[in-house]
Amino acid sequence: MPYHAFRPLPTFVRGSFANVDFKDANIIFMNSVTFPEELLEQVAKIAECLNPSAKIVTAKTLLGPFEVIDTCLAKVSWSGSPFEYFVQQLQQVQSAADPSMCESVAPSSQEICR
């Protein structure tokens, strides 16, 4: 059997992080170099509901109950030098966000790309 028969294939979502319910994600990549602070705050609130083992790879660290557990360098199109990304996860000692905030809500708009 093909490898993907045992594991679900990743889903790619195109849209604003503020409009997508990603609370069940395991790995999130945000090339947040130009994200405004308001958007980062909205993303952080949603991310507080993630599974504690979920990883967030981002150009800008999220504020709140998150800790940087690693960094990685990657080639980027806008520079000849590698760019440093942060790997974050929820702090282990931190409890989840307000439970009512963590209820699944259908996103207001999204486009799934496969």
pLDDT at 105: 46
Q: How many domains does the chain have?
A: 1
111 domain residue, yes or no: no
Residue 109 lies in a domain: no
Instruction: Divide the 114 residues of the chain into consecutive groups of 10 and give the mean pLDDT of each group.
Output: 65 80 88 92 91 93 94 93 95 62 48 30
What is the pTM assigned to this prediction?
0.72
Q: What is the 3-state secondary structure (H, E, C) of the chain?
A: CCHHHCCCCCCEEECCHHHCCCCCCCEEEECHHHCCHHHHHHHHHHHCCCCCCCEEEECCCCCCCEEEEEEEEECCCCCCCCEEEEEEEECCCCCCCCHHHHCCCCCCCCEEEC
- In which domain, by residue range, is 28 found? 21-94
**pLDDT of the residue at 11:** 75
Residue 2 lies in a domain: no
- For residue 108, the model assigns a pLDDT of 37
CATH of the domain at 61: 3.40.50.150
pLDDT at 90: 93
Asked whether residue 35 is domain-assigned, the answer is yes
